[in-house]
Chain A
Amino acid sequence: MNRWLRLSKRSIQTSLLVQITWVVLGLGVLTTGVAFGFAYAEAQEFQDDMLRQVALLGTPTMNPTFDAGQDEENDARIRVFVPARQNAPDWLPPRLADGFYTMPATDGSTNRVYATHARNGQRLVIVQSTQSRNEVAWDSALWTFLPWLLFLPILLWLIVHIVRHELLSVRSLSAKLDQQITDRLETLPVEAVPEEIVPFVDAVNRMMLRVNLAVVQQKRFIADASHELRTPLTALSLQAQNIERADTIDAMRQRVVVLRTGIDRARQLTSQLLDLARLQYQEQRRDTIRVGELARDSLAGVLPLAESRSVDLRLDLHADPLLQGDAAILQLIMHNVLGNAVKYSHPGESVTLRTSLIDNKVTIDVIDQGDGIPEDQRQQVFQPFYRLPGNAATGSGLGLAIAHEAADRLGGKLTILSNPKGKGVIVRYQQPQAMMSADV
């Protein structure tokens, strides 16, 4: 039972067959019932009319009883009694008012009784068994049910046939899907598909395009990452070898310091790659973030780098709004954008972190006075490992890519604008404000 239910739930064909069988049978029974009712009423009326006519014909000179038919089984005999002259059956009440009656006989059968007066004033009682009437009604009702029963298998066969035929195209689609190679998905054709399934196929196709894009990006990233991992490794192996070759302890000490910077760089690249991977796979928390507080923490984080490069840090809180999202991810955006700005600033220049509300969106700007980014490269710098041509500083080329990916995750947007005060750029993060507002 359980299995059958599950089957009927999953298969369109089975569920159509089961439901339509029930509907057809139900309708058949209903029609049969109605037909029976009508036929019964009709037969009743017709036979009452017959009794009435027999009464009109009936005369005192007639035989006390006569048979209306010879059929014993149907027992459709109509009997006429004249109570004044002869003995009526004992179940018949001696005094009956004129009219029709249905009453049981002593042998258990039911009879239709018509009491009337003949034209000469003689009293007549006409009796007929009701059994035959019921049989007539039943027969006519059964004849209405029969076509339904014949009709059912034809209908079921038609449904199976149509469903099979219409689902053929779906079957061929699924065969095509099965043959697909996962790293290069081809979209499914919609021409041969039933109209009802087209939106579904369209949705599958759109998903495939998204998957393809993601696969291409992923492949490029892996190729780039393996390439980029070689650079710090090469530096490390050379630096280690140089320590071996040092003639004096002092030279060796100096070369160990160099090796340390190499190790730092490799560590930074590794942790940035991990940041990127985590962004893509880790589940997000939903914190309520106080932007001002987070801005202060982020500035504190890049303070050592800024001091070592003599870059001036400033905070400009125009608003202290609240944001919904993962605080660690927003921190990642700020850290990378700020770090980038400080790294590419010249000594004596300043980097400003400014928060404000623009068009009801929380806006976090990191404003620098550096060499700027040409307008045609402001999208490219968000690509992993992209470095500006002629760029002297050593970076992994991942900072802005991480920030961009993180912004996507948070549901915000990271853009690069020209600094209206001339030099440098503004890296702007915008996200709709959280519902509640904070006191400044």
Chain B
Amino acid sequence: MRLLLVEDDVMIGEAATQALRDAAWAVDWVRDLRNATLALGGSEYDAILLDLGLTDGDGSTLLQQLRAKNNRIPIIIVTARDLASDRIRGLDLGADDYVIKPFDMDELMARLRAVIRRKDGNASPILSNGIVSLDPATHEAWTANTERMLLPAREFALLEILLLKPGKIHSREALETGIYGWGEEIESNMIDYLVHAIRKKLGSSIIRNVRGAGWYVNVSVPNAG
């Protein structure tokens, strides 16, 4: 899952990026509105964490611009402004959630998962296609034949991307952008390695491959999983 973090404070930006990457998020961090707009023009994001007080303007202008273009990307405002009027205004402008600094990172990530889940139309917090199930909160995966097991960060990230849109074929590049943030070194054949590791743990038919096109998981099967 790829996140755009818009945060002007260097220390918070660095620490938040670190924490999110530890939890298998691909994070791109920008410090102002101009670079946020550039980033949004260049790649697809699953959610935006938006600070309001930025050096070249207020984060809410970006929010307004995106919603005016009918962009439905989940946006969480993360700010030190704690007045009720600020929160109301932020939510009314189209933010999906509003988190006040200082915040708890676990809570922020839970809120992130919630807004992304809602955007995809899933009510259940567990991602599943009926064959394999994944709990984004604990990074645990299981099938009908295996116990719950904890997946390492990158394996979790890959399976999460696939399970969010079962049946959709994801190219190598698409998977890499979903797993790696800016500045993270992409190891060659990493995707092949991760797919192999997941298949070994959960069963070889879990992830399917279309040669030259990419990888996918099967569309949901009712009464299973």
CA distance A389 to B55 in the complex (A): 5
**How far apart are A222's CB and chain B's nearest CB, in angstroms?**
13
A74-82, A150-158, A227-235, A337-345: which lies at the B interface? A227-235
**Smallest CB separation, B172 vs chain A (Å):** 27
A378 at interface, CB cutoff 8 A: no
- One digit per residue, 1 when the CB lies within 8 angstroms of any chain A CB and 0 when it does not, for chain B 1-22 equals 0000000011110111011001
Residue of A237, A261, A262 with most chain B CB atoms under a 10 A cut-off? A237
Q: Is A276 an interface residue (CB 8 A)?
A: no
How many Å from the CB of A250 to the closest CB on chain B? 14
Taking the complex as formed, is B187 at the interface, i.e. its CB lies under 8 A from any CB of chain A? no
Once the chains are docked, how many angstroms separate the CA of A261 from the CA of B9?
A: 13
In the docked arrangement, what's the CA distance between A303 and B140, Å?
53
Q: Name the distance in Å between A337's Cβ and chain B's nearest Cβ.
A: 22
Expressed in whole angstroms, the minimum distance between the Cβ of B177 and any Cβ of chain A is 24
Interface residue tally for chain A (C-beta within 8 Å)? 25
Residue pair A238, B81 in contact (C-beta under 8 Å):
no
Within 8 A of A (CB), among B2-47: 9-12, 14-16, 18-19, 22-23, 32
Asked if residues A238 and B56 are in contact (CB atoms below 8 Å), the reply is no
B22 CB contact (under 8 Å) in A232, A239, A245: A245
For B80, the chain A residues whose CB sits under 8 A away are 227-228, 230-231, 234
User: How far does the alpha carbon of A208 sit from the alpha carbon of B22 in the complex, in Å?
Assistant: 56
Is A237 within 8 A of B102, CB to CB?
Answer: yes
Evaluate contact between B11 and A262: CB separation under 8 angstroms: yes
Q: Which residues of A contact B105 (CB under 8 A)?
A: 237-238, 241
A52 within 8 Å of B (CB atoms) = no
Q: Is B103 an interface residue, CB under 8 A from the partner?
A: yes
A-chain residues with CB within 8 Å of residue B22 when the two chains form the complex: 242, 245
The answer on a CB contact under 8 Å between B15 and A238 is yes
Interface residues of A in 219-260 (CB under 8 A from B): 227-228, 230-239, 241-242, 245, 255, 258
Within 8 A of A (CB), among B100-119: 100-105
For A229, the closest partner residue in chain B by CB is: B80
CB distance from B51 to the nearest CB of A (A): 10
Chain A contacts with B in 371-396, Cβ cutoff 8 A: 387, 389-391, 394
Interface status of A413 (Cβ within 8 A of chain B) = no
A235 to B56, Cβ gap below 8 A? Answer: no
Contact between B55 and A235, CB atoms less than 8 A apart: no
Contacts A242-B22, A389-B56, A394-B9 known; A258 to B15 CB distance under 8 Å? Answer: yes
Q: Which residues of B contact A258 (CB under 8 A)?
A: 11, 14-15
**Number of residue pairs A-B, CB distance < 8 angstroms:** 64
Pair A238/B32 contact, Cβ less than 8 Å? no
Question: Main secondary structure on chain A at its contact with chain B?
Answer: helix
For the complex, what is the distance from the CA of A230 to the CA of B32, rounded to whole Å?
19
How far is it, in angstroms, between the C-alpha of A239 and the C-alpha of B10 when the chains are bound? 12
The reply to whether A230 and B101 form a contact with Cβ atoms under 8 Å apart is: yes
Q: Does A409 contact B (CB under 8 A)?
A: no
**Does A265 reach chain B (CB closer than 8 Å)?**
yes
The answer on a CB contact under 8 Å between A241 and B11 is: no
Which residues in B have their C-beta under 8 angstroms from that of A242? 15, 18-19, 22
Chain B hits for A228, CB < 8 A = 80
CB distance from B39 to the nearest CB of A (A): 17
- The chain B residue sitting closest to A240, CB to CB, is B15
Q: Would you give the shortest CB distance from B190 to chain A, in whole angstroms?
A: 18
Q: Are B103 and A234 in contact (CB under 8 A)?
A: yes
- Alpha-carbon distance A265/B19, docked complex (angstroms): 20
What residues of A have a CB within 8 angstroms of the CB of B102 in the complex?
Answer: 230, 233-234, 236-237
Contacts of A389 in B (CB 8 A): 55-56
**Nearest 10 A-B pairs (CB), nearest first?**
A238-B15, A235-B11, A230-B80, A234-B102, A234-B101, A233-B102, A230-B101, A245-B22, A235-B12, A239-B15
Provide 21 A-B residue pairs closer than 8 Å at the C-beta atoms, listed in order of the A residue: A227-B80, A227-B81, A230-B101, A230-B102, A231-B101, A232-B11, A233-B102, A234-B9, A234-B12, A234-B80, A234-B101, A235-B12, A238-B105, A242-B19, A245-B22, A255-B18, A258-B15, A387-B55, A390-B55, A390-B56, A394-B9
Residues of B within 8 A of A (CB): 9-12, 14-16, 18-19, 22-23, 32, 55-56, 80-81, 100-105
Chain A interface residues (CB < 8 Å from chain B): 227-228, 230-239, 241-242, 245, 255, 258, 261-262, 265, 387, 389-391, 394
